[in-house]
Amino acid sequence: MKNLLLLFVFFLVLKCDFGPSQAAAYVPESSGKINNITVVMAENEWDTALGKRVREALEKPYEGLPLDEPQFSLNYLSPKAFTGFGRQSRNVIWFQNDSLARISLAENQFARPQILAHITGPDADAKAFYFEENLQLLEASFGEQERKEKLRRIQKAPTTEKSLENRFGISLTYPSAYETVVDSTNFVWIQKQIQKGHLNLIAYRLPATVFDAGVLTERILAIRDSIGKKYLPGRLDGSYMITEKAYLPYFYKTTLDGQQTYLTKGTWEVANDYMAGPFVNYMVQDSLNKRIMVIEGFAFAPSISKREYMFELNTILSTLKIKAN
């Protein structure tokens, strides 16, 4: 009951109208790299138990990568430094001492867009309790904020290609730097070159009955591997993309464009070659067209960080729109 009450208060704070005078007040544009959070607390707390608990919670591994990378990158600021430009971070968690222990969320208080989580308490243990009790809400709020920011940047130069719409009656919002490299009867492959590799989007459709028999997770991986063998060749003769067998993928049920969806995150490799990387796969139960619509993003970026590449692909896939054919 306590958590439900807190959740209600948070959304009340986020949505409330502060009146004409504050609504009209100027706030600067927020800044910062994608998936960065500014943490403000006393230095002695950052160097001891409270800071450690915050780092462990927010720097846990980003799911589906071959090597561990943090979900968020943290920037520490002392309370004295939290002024002027220091307050323009897009995501802020501010810990302060106060006799009243509580947590609140506010939008656009010092910059726009911005989410500020304000956590107060009489001591470090009280502040740690409110932080950990509401960690899921904080992660979801910051994660959605960053998805919107990434999408805003993508929309500065969106593609005008219609291969997905013409072939499958679907659309994705992605940058014009991506180009269609394969457009066949039931398979579209879109790719963007990066400094050390490439980012990829693929789409294909399946019969609506494809999951009627067999273990769901096994069917998902078998379908991925069969598509890889048919459409995604490696560099060498007889090589093709498959799901990495050494790491168990993450499986979820979710929704995409209002449709029930199976989400899989994991690592791919190339059979008979030495190539690998992360992927995210959505199998959407398209009730409008009585089919399974599959969209996937995967990255090939050897020897460099992959978190931001996969975040870009996941943001693009989240924009899926399906039309009734």
49 near 128, Cβ under 8 Å?
yes
Q: How far is the C-alpha of 180 from the C-alpha of 172, rounded, in Å?
A: 13
In order of 114, 124, 263, 294, 298, the CA distances from 266 in angstroms are 31, 37, 10, 16, 10
**Local confidence band at 247 (pLDDT 50, 70, 90 cut-offs):** confident
Residue 325's SS3 state is coil
Q: How far is CA 162 from the centre of its chain?
A: 25
pLDDT of residue 26: 84
Q: How far is the C-alpha of 294 from the C-alpha of 125, rounded, in Å?
A: 46
pLDDT above 70 for 319: yes
Element (H, E) at 46: helix 43-46
Between 15-24, 198-207, 295-304, the lowest mean confidence (pLDDT) is in: 15-24
Between 63-67, 110-114, 157-161, 272-276, the lowest mean confidence (pLDDT) is in: 272-276
pLDDT of residue 235: 86
pLDDT above 90 for 220: yes
Size (the chain), residues:
325
**Nearest partner of 299 among 273, 264, 275, judged by Cα:** 275
190 near 297, Cβ under 8 Å?
no
Q: How far is the C-alpha of 190 from the C-alpha of 200, rounded, in Å?
A: 6
Domains within the chain, CATH numbers bracketed: 2-154 (3.30.379), 163-322 (3.40.1000.10)
Between 232-236, 262-266, 312-316, the lowest mean confidence (pLDDT) is in: 232-236
**Local confidence band at 10 (pLDDT 50, 70, 90 cut-offs):** very low
Q: What is the DSSP string of 200-214?
A: EEEEEEEETTTTSSS
pLDDT above 70 for 23: no
pLDDT of residue 272: 86
pLDDT of residue 64: 93
pLDDT above 50 for 133: yes
Residue 21's SS3 state is helix
Assign residue 290 a region (left: φ > 0; alpha: ψ between -120 and 50; beta: otherwise): left
268 near 242, Cβ under 8 Å?
yes
59 near 71, Cβ under 8 Å?
yes
CB atoms < 10 A from the CB of 293, how many?
24
**Local confidence band at 47 (pLDDT 50, 70, 90 cut-offs):** very high
pLDDT above 50 for 6: no
pLDDT above 50 for 225: yes
228 near 268, Cβ under 8 Å?
yes
pLDDT of residue 324: 86
